[in-house]
Amino acid sequence: MRNEKRRQVVPEGSHPPEPADGFEKNLKRLEDIVTAMESGQTRLDETIALYEEGLKLVNFCQSKLTEVQHKVEILDKNHKPKAFEPEKNQ
């Protein structure tokens, strides 16, 4: 059995980001989870907890991206730019 020091994934006294924390913060947390899981330095129970948290964050981020995509599509439909016509010098 290896005696490696395992890094703590979530500092004591802190909580993982909540969906209300915003897209960028949740995406960063998701990246941290992937890094931790890929490192192989987490115990099995930590890995399962991280996986579960990661699934929630993926669902949140995907939902937010879909919401923004729909919003952009609506804006594009409603606000088509007019063709540019240079002013005529008289």
The pLDDT of residue 17: 58
Q: How confident is the model at residue 48 (pLDDT cuts 50, 70, 90)?
A: very high
Location of structure tokens 């987490």: 42
Range of the domain at 71: 19-77
Check if the beta carbon of residue 19 is closer than 8 Å to that of residue 26: yes
35 in a domain, yes or no? Answer: yes
6 in a domain, yes or no? Answer: no
**Rounded CA gap, 74 and 19, in Å?**
24
32 in a domain, yes or no? Answer: yes
**Rounded CA gap, 31 and 17, in Å?**
12
Check if the beta carbon of residue 53 is closer than 8 Å to that of residue 33: yes
Does the model's pTM come out above 0.75? Answer: no
Position with higher pLDDT, 81 vs 25: 25
Position with higher pLDDT, 87 vs 8: 87
Split into its structural domains, the chain has a count of 1
pLDDT in tens, 1-46: 444 444 455 544 455 556 567 899 999 999 999 999 999 999 999 9
61 in a domain, yes or no? Answer: yes
Average pLDDT of the segment spanning 53-76? 93
Residue 20's alpha-carbon distances to 14, 50, 58, 65, 68, in angstroms, are: 16, 19, 14, 15, 16
Which 3 state secondary structure label does DSSP give 56? helix
8 in a domain, yes or no? Answer: no
CATH code, domain with 42: 1.10.287
53 in a domain, yes or no? Answer: yes
83 in a domain, yes or no? Answer: no
